[in-house]
Amino acid sequence: MARPLRINFPGAWYHVTSRGQERRPIFLEDRDREHFLELLEAVVARFRVQVHAYVLMDNHYHLLLETPEANLSRSIQ
């Protein structure tokens, strides 16, 4: 069954998470985490997404994002 469509509007807050396939690690070393944060910084600059909190675990991450322009789908692709 497909997930329901995400409601998208200016100023919305989202909890975004992603896990490694079969719960395998997605961050193998600190450099992987640093690179992820560099990519996240580029998303913030390009799409004006606001990051309020994040957690980077070995096999998944959590982001608490706010989208002033209702553009979550474009920004997290």
32: enclosing H helix or E strand: helix 30-47
pLDDT tens, residue by residue, 29-71: 999 999 999 999 999 999 999 999 999 999 999 999 999 999 9
State the pLDDT at residue 2.
78
Query: Is residue 60 in some structural domain?
Result: yes
Query: Is residue 52 in some structural domain?
Result: yes
Query: Is residue 1 in some structural domain?
Result: no
Query: Is residue 25 in some structural domain?
Result: yes
CATH number where 51 lies: 3.30.70.1290
Burial code (b: 16+ CB inside 10 Å, e: under 16) for 11-45 equals eeebebeeeeeeeeebbeeeeebeeeeeebeebee
Provide the domain count of the chain: 1
pLDDT tens, residue by residue, 23-39: 999 999 999 999 999 99
Distance CA 76, CA 16 (A): 9
Count CB-CB contacts under 10 A for residue 72: 20
Predicted TM-score (pTM) of this structure: 0.89
State the pLDDT at residue 4.
80
Query: Is residue 4 in some structural domain?
Result: no
Query: Is residue 66 in some structural domain?
Result: yes
Quickly tell me which residue has 């807050």 as its tokens. Answer: 13
Range of the domain at 48: 12-76
